[in-house]
Amino acid sequence: MSERALEATRELRGGGEEFDLIVVGCGPAGAAAAITAATRGLRVLILERGSFVGAKNLYGGVIYLSILRSLLTDDELSSIPFERKIHRRSTMILEGDRAVSISVDNPSWTEGLPNAITSHRREFDGFLASAAMARGATLVLEALVTDVHPGDKGTNAKVTIANGEGITEEISSKFVIVAEGSNPQLLQRISGSKGRSPAFSLGVKETIAIDERVIDERFGLSNSSGVDIEVLGATSDVRGGGFLYTNKSSISIGLVVDLADLGNKRRRPEELLENFKAHPSISPLLRGGRRCEYGAHLLNEAGHKNFPTGPIGRVLFAGDAASTLLAAGIYLEGVNYAIASGIEVAKLVADANSSMDLEVLQRLQERIAKSFIGVNHKRLSGAFEYTSSKFAQEKLPKIANSIADRIFTVSDPEAKAGFMRAIRESMRDAGVGKGEMIRELSRGFRIFR
C-alpha cells in the first residue's frame, strides 16, 4: 500500500496522537462503528485500504435506510446521496423464455426517509465517512492493515499496516473493530477458521448507462422513483439469483451464484450474466444501454452459523466480516445489517472504554441475538438452503410459469383449464408429485411465515 498511509501513520504517532479505537475498513460497518464511537467521545482512527472510500466496494445497489435513524442527525438523513427512491419491489421468476412477476408499488416508500434507495457506494460510503470525520474521527486512506494483535487485559491492541515493499508501521489503541468485509483475512489470521462455516457466493454486476428519461418511460417512473427487481431462475443450472435495479441514468444488473456450484459445473459467471441479460423479459429493459462498469465480489452468506464473531482480546468484528449479511431468497440485505452491527459493536466498545472493563465485550453475543440482526437471521435461518434447493431453483420456476401459461393462454374453442387442472398438469410437467409439492410449500411457508 501507499507510502502516504505510512507517512500519515508515522505523523499521527510522532504527534503523540493516541486512539481509543482503530476501525479497520471504511465500508458501512466500519463507518457506522466510527460514527457511533466518535459520537460517544472516543478518539477514533479509521484505516481504509482504498485510495478513496468506496473504491473497493462493489455491490448490487439498493440500501434500506431505516437503521440510519439511530445513527445520523435529521440534517444528515435529509442529505443521503441517492440515485432513486425505490417505490416498486418485484420478484421475477424466469423459466426458458417465459417470466412470471409479482410487483408491489408503494409510493409512500419514497416519502420522508425512503424505505430504500439506489446509491453508488463511492457516494454513500463517502457520505458516512464524512459523518464520522465530522464527529472527530481521523481517516487514513491507502492503509492496508496486514495484521492485528488482539492485546489483552493489560496490553492494548495493535495493528500493522504495510506498503507494497514490505515496509510496515504499527499503531496501537485500546480497541480495534475489524470491518474488513466478506473476505475476512484478518479474522482468519487471528482466529483461524475454527468454528466458522464458509459459505461463499460470487456476485457479478454490470452497470448499464441509459438516459434518465428512457429509464423513466421504460419502467413507468417519475420524480426520482425507482425499481428493485429480484430474479429467480436467472442463473441457468447454477444455484443463485439475479437482480436489476434502476439508478438515475443507469441500470445495475447482476447475479449472485454459489461459488462451489459454479466451480463444480465449470461455468463462467460472465457467461451466465450474458444469458440473463439476453432473456426476452430482461433484454428490452437494457436496450440501447452502454456498459460503463463491471466487476465481481465475494459474498459471505454463512449468516448466523458464524455468530458471534469475537471478541478476541480487544478486537471485535462487524459487518460482512462477522457474517451479518442476510441472503435469504427474496431478501438481499447487507448494508443495513453491516451498519447495525457496526453500531452495536461500537456501543459495546464505548461501554467497555468508559467502565474500563473488558468483560463488557462478552455481551456481544447477547446484544446481536436480541437485535434485529439476530432475530431475522434466526427466523430466516433455513431460507438460504431452501431458495438454493433444486425445488426452488428448477422446479418452482417451471411450475409457476406453466400455471400462468395455462391460466392466461386463451385456448378457445377448448374450455378453460381451471386453476386445479392447471396446477396438476404443471406439477406433472415439472415431475413434482403431490407429496413433494405439499412438503416443499409448507417448508417454505414455515421459513418465511
Ligand X SMILES: Cc1cc2nc3c(=O)[nH]c(=O)nc-3n(C[C@H](O)[C@H](O)[C@H](O)COP(=O)(O)OP(=O)(O)OC[C@H]3O[C@@H](n4cnc5c(N)ncnc54)[C@H](O)[C@@H]3O)c2cc1C
Binding site for ligand X (CB under 6 A): 24-30, 47-50, 56-63, 143-145, 179-182, 186, 203, 205, 254, 256, 297, 299, 319-321, 325, 332-336, 338
Q: In whole angstroms, how close is the CB of 304 to ligand X at the nearest point? A: 15
Buried/exposed code over 28-66 (b: 16+ C-beta within 10 A; e: otherwise): bbbbbbbbbbbbbebbbbbbbbbeebbbbbbbbbbbbbe
Strands 144-149 and 19-24: unpaired
CA–CA gap between residue 330 and residue 387 (Å, rounded): 9
Cα 77 to Cα 54: distance, rounded to the nearest angstrom: 19
Which is closer to ligand X, CB of 25 or CB of 313?
25
Residues 6+ apart with CB under 8 A from 417: 406, 407, 411, 425
Q: Which is nearer to ligand X, 62 or 92 (CB)?
A: 62
Least distance to ligand X from the beta carbon of 350, Å?
19
Distance of alpha carbon 160 from alpha carbon 170, whole angstroms: 4
CB of 126 to ligand X, least distance (A): 11
Task: Give every CB contact of residue 162 below 8 A, 6+ residues apart in sequence.
Answer: 1, 144, 146, 168, 169
- Rank residues 247 and 393 by Cβ distance to ligand X and give the closer one: 247
Written as one letter, the residue type at 372 is F
Spatial CB neighbours of 366, under 8 Å, sequence gap ≥ 6: none
Q: CA-to-CA distance for 416 and 218, rounded, in angstroms? A: 33
Q: Which residue, 99 or 299, is less far from ligand X as judged by CB?
A: 299
Q: Which of 203, 275, 289 shows the shortest CA–CA distance to 246?
A: 289
Nearer to ligand X, 21 or 400 (CB): 21
Which CB, 263 or 295, lies closer to ligand X? 295
Write down the least CB distance from residue 391 to ligand X, Å: 24
Least distance in angstroms from the C-beta of 426 to ligand X: 32
Shortest Å, Cβ 179 to ligand X: 5
Cis upstream peptide for 308 (omega within 30°): yes
Shortest spacing between CB 405 and ligand X, in angstroms: 31
Query: Closer to ligand X at the Cβ: 338 or 417?
Result: 338
**Shortest Cβ 176–ligand X spacing (Å):** 11
**Which grid coordinates belong to 318?**
462487524
Among residues 233 and 241, whose Cβ is nearest to ligand X?
241
Degrees to nearest 5, angle at CA 290 with 287 and 293: 130
